[in-house]
Amino acid sequence: MRKTIIEPFKIKVTEPLVLKSREEREEILKKADYNLFLVKSEDVTFDFLTDSGTTAMSANQWAAMMVADESYAGSRSFHRFKSKVTEITSYDHVIPTHQGRASERLLFGVLLRPGMKVPSNNHFDTTRANIEFLGAQAVDLVIPEGKIPDHEHPFKGNIDLSRLESFCREFKDKIPLGMLTITNNTGGGQPVSLENIREAARIYHKHGIPFILDACRFAENAWFIKTRENAHSNSSIKAIVSEIFSLADGCLMSAKKDGMVNIGGFIALKDSTWVQDLRNQLILTEGFPTYGGLAARDLEALAVGLDEAMDEDYLRYRIATSSYMGRRLNEMGIPTVRPAGGHAVYIDAEKFLPHIPKAQFPGQALAAELYLQDGVRTCEIGSVMFKEAASMELVRMAFPRRVYTQSHFDYILEGFQDIKERSRELRGFRIKEAPPFLRHFTVKFERF
């Protein structure tokens, strides 16, 4: 095994990296009241806020965009996109949307009524919000190991099958659909095994419940199945992906993840039962069924991107990147959620900065320091975001696809070493001003 991770692409278009001094960043961060969401991206060197919509597209994707057919109805680009989705998922009914949460709103709007329940391993926050907005309940049934940050388990995204079975038995009349999120974003980008997907499908179907995947990171999940689930080590990614989709009745997709595009999403379904209602809703708020809130060029880029996401050289590099970052941090004595997720590494700031009490936001302290040190923008996922409901104080580094190189990572790791050596000097924060909802986006801090 070679030690150096090689990016399986060469670079044709470049964008300069912003390099500022620590003093300049001190000034910028203070002006933003220490909230990284309020820092302009032109002042950020390495942007790890999210992997969503931040992908670098390939020459083939840009080329496909140039030949897009922007006709209002019946566009050739729609048919190319639709055939690609059907080829990968085997689902015949494909509804384009502008992004994942639009797919959620449409499907749940058609299926959910107050008092209903939707089980999953973990619902992503927009998924949960769209379910709760309709008066229904989003129920998380991830395995217990999935909630313990340093518990090593190859498939921490698995759903707890015995709890799922009893939940379905008790509430089946109130469950219009059951879900699984692959990979489990809320649980740290952790994968679900093929065996777990198969068993969850069996339980849902036994109780007559349609099974819908939240498939945002289906390709990364398939790579974990290939490399961690013995029975599938000789299968191709395409074969694993087809098997995953064949077990479910449909999927919701944010193409801003494994669609390898900057905007886009879709709903794909095996059966036509809900399709007419969905299309009627789609026309009201998204657009005509052959573009659904996107330009035809977006559909073209997505059709190419879905194949590129399943390329095995790409996936090997992609997953090596996050596991390399996780491993090097752990070797340095910086605790993370283990194992590393597919798209992100989550640092356990509470453990790393034990001298900063939860009430002074250890995650925020680390996120601010990472910005000051090297211009790295991360996201606090702890008491700033969830208030008293936070069970962990994490800092998420989510990696945009095909954007940064191994030397960028090594440079950032040097910065981490520096922070580690003076970690006792880091100070917490107090909140100066905060809105009542989703406060992390606009909260203002001051230093202790």
In the complex, the residues that contact ligand PLP under the rule CB under 6 A are 52, 99-101, 124, 126-127, 181, 185, 214, 216, 254, 256-257, 265
Closer residue to ligand PLP, CB minimum distance, 216 or 394:
216
For the CB of residue 230, give the shortest distance to ligand PLP in the complex, in Å: 26
Closer residue to ligand PLP, CB minimum distance, 25 or 128:
128
For the CB of residue 98, give the shortest distance to ligand PLP in the complex, in Å: 8
DSSP letters spanning 144-160:
GGGG-TT---TTTT-B-
Closer residue to ligand PLP, CB minimum distance, 36 or 216:
216
Report the chain's C-alpha Rg in angstroms. Answer: 22
Residue 388's alpha-carbon distances to 36, 150, 391, 437, 446, in angstroms, are 21, 22, 8, 13, 20
Closer residue to ligand PLP, CB minimum distance, 190 or 383:
190
| Helix then strand then coil, % of the chain, to nearest 5 | 45, 15, 40
For the CB of residue 132, give the shortest distance to ligand PLP in the complex, in Å: 14
For the CB of residue 299, give the shortest distance to ligand PLP in the complex, in Å: 15
For the CB of residue 258, give the shortest distance to ligand PLP in the complex, in Å: 10
CB 182 within 8 A of CB 214: yes
Closer residue to ligand PLP, CB minimum distance, 158 or 185:
185
Closer residue to ligand PLP, CB minimum distance, 252 or 303:
252
Q: Please give the residue whose beta carbon sits closest to ligand PLP in the complex.
A: 100
For the CB of residue 104, give the shortest distance to ligand PLP in the complex, in Å: 7
Q: Per the structure block, which two tokens stand in for 442?
A: 């606009």
| Integer Cα distance of 331 and 345 in angstroms | 14
DSSP letters spanning 291-335:
TTTS-HHHHHHHHHHHHHHT-HHHHHHHHHHHHHHHHHHHHTT--
Closer residue to ligand PLP, CB minimum distance, 256 or 377:
256
Q: Which residue has the tokens 């026309």?
A: 283
Looking at this protein, which amino acid is placed at residue 198? Answer: R
For the CB of residue 385, give the shortest distance to ligand PLP in the complex, in Å: 15
- Phi first, then psi: what are they for 207, rounded to 5°? -95, 10
339 cis-preceded (ω within 30 degrees of 0):
yes
186 cis-preceded (ω within 30 degrees of 0):
no
What is the SS3 assignment for 431?
strand
